[in-house]
A and B are shown apart, each in its own frame.
Chain A
Amino acid sequence: MKKIMIVDDEEAILEMYKLVLVNNYQVLTVANGETALETALKEQPNLIYLDIIMPKLNGLDVLKKLKERSETADIPVVMLTNLPQDASADKAKSLGAIDYLVKVENEPAQIAQKTEGYIGK
């Protein structure tokens, strides 16, 4: 079973996406940026959903560090945030994110569908 890591400081968000993904994937939920780096290194997920505004280390810094380390550089990362596209999408993509999704515009079922598009089942 493929592994997905969701990084978000809102527990309700983690729970919500986990619910629609857990049948097809092994879902790891992480509540902050620092833990995300450790978990990514250790668990080597097949896909990471990454929030941007988080305490300690924000999502763009996490993305940069993931791409800097050879062990995690190839893991596809999708930003899943409530910051509008034109605020950070360019920067996230230039740092290596494969997509940029706005949470409020994507219901859980759409995230499940997109996940399949990114990594299959």
Chain B
Amino acid sequence: MKKPNQFFWESITWIVIIVLTIYVILAFPWYKAQEILQYIMIALGVAAVVWYLKSRRLVIETEKKSQDILAKKREIERQHKTIDLIFNNSTDGILIIDTDQKIVNFSPGMEKITGFNKNDVIGLPAQSTLKFSGNADNSLLPDLVFMPPNINKKPIVKNSMVTKEGRAISIEASYSSIKGNGNVNYGLAIIRDVTYEEELVRRDKEFIALTSHQLNTPLSIVRGYLSLLKSGKVGPINQQQNKYLDTIHQSIVKTISLTNNLLSISRIEQDKVKLEKVDLNLSDFFDKIKSEYEAIATDKNVILELLPVDNNLIIYADEDKLDQAIGNLVDNAIKYSNKGKVTLKAESNSDSVTISVSDAGMGIDPDELDKIGQKFYRSQDAINIDNKGTGLGVFIAKTIVEKHDGTISIKSTKGKGTTFIITLPKS
């Protein structure tokens, strides 16, 4: 029911409207009605055109938007299909875990690698189910997945896990965390079973080690009896026989050296080499290197020069292994120099020592520089000068230096010479 006050104001409003309407009708200039009507028609026409154009644009925009949405939908569907294809057909296993490290997805590849069925493991804790072994820094794969990225975080880890049958397998895993709305929601690990490949590598290395060792027995017999023949202990030797025995002796010594190099590499690669580090006085060490290689240098008219080393310069290193590493470099420097100098230099830095071996030999072609130090690689110039080398000397040197947490680099100018630079930590 209307209130009396409201009724009063509504009545007043109607009276005002009626009075104004009567006034407009009486005051309206009816003789101009046609003209005014024309204006109104024009205005209505313009309004209709504007409205049509506006609505047309709206229709086009709407159509375009719906096409875009459709294209995006198709793209998302295509991506989903691709992801599904990868997820379901990859021979590498794909494991997705949530932030509680529970398994949320488990690809058919994972089922094949581990023997577990997807439905049996969803929701289970990843670590206790798959028993990943610790990494080098003892981090487990499910932890690594959620670790914030840093420079020490390796993109691929090698370790092992345990299958449903309880068999330990070697794996290579790449991992990352998946972010949604700025937060980490899931962890992803792509896992490859490398047990077979590792077994092949192990057998290969064992074969080399065994072969090298087995070769040493007959070689030591040949070398020993040869020296007995040469000594005349078992009868006189004439000059020509002696010359032939010398030739055989040289070949045997080279074969022994090759066998020992192969054995060294095999042991290094199997990680069986233990460093026995001691405080090593570099000045004394250089004197020792000089005494070992001076005769070979003199034979080739090469001067083996030691630049003065601070008497107090000491590094913590395995003397025999470092002797082998630097010795290989000095031996090469002499071998590939015809005359001139081979210079051994040591410089002390704040927490490291730089040792360099420089020669004035033939230098290394810039194209070959990055290949020097690869196992068995020999530059064409090196083969031309000495076709009996093995391409193992620099590789062994590099491996030994790296075992000492050091680095090795090469500077070379073709026709002018080469410098090998070794940097080793002082402690």
Contact = CB atoms under 8 A, between A and B. Distances in A.
A10 B221 contact: yes
Given A84-B267, A86-B273, A108 B224 contact: yes
B223 A107 contact: yes
Interface centre among B223, B256, B267, B274 (most CB of A within 10 A): B223
A84 B220 contact: no
A29 to B, nearest CB: 14
Interface stretch (A13-21, A30-38, A39-47, A63-71): A13-21
A82 interface: yes
Given A19-B233, A83-B213, A13 B228 contact: no
B227 A86 contact: no
A107 B227 contact: yes
Interface string B312-330: 0000000010000000000
Given A13-B221, A20-B233, A107-B223, A86 B228 contact: no
What's the dominant secondary structure at chain A's contact region? helix
A53 B220 CA distance: 15
A108 B220 CA distance: 10
A103 B223 CA distance: 10
Given A83-B213, A87-B272, A20 B228 contact: yes
A87 B272 CA distance: 8
B225 interface: yes
B140 interface: no
B219 to A, nearest CB: 5
Given A102-B216, A104-B219, 11 more contacts: A13-B224, A16-B221, A16-B225, A82-B213, A82-B216, A87-B267, A103-B220, A104-B220, A104-B259, A107-B224, A109-B227
The 8 closest A-B pairs by CB, nearest first: A82-B216, A103-B220, A104-B220, A107-B227, A16-B224, A104-B216, A12-B221, A108-B224
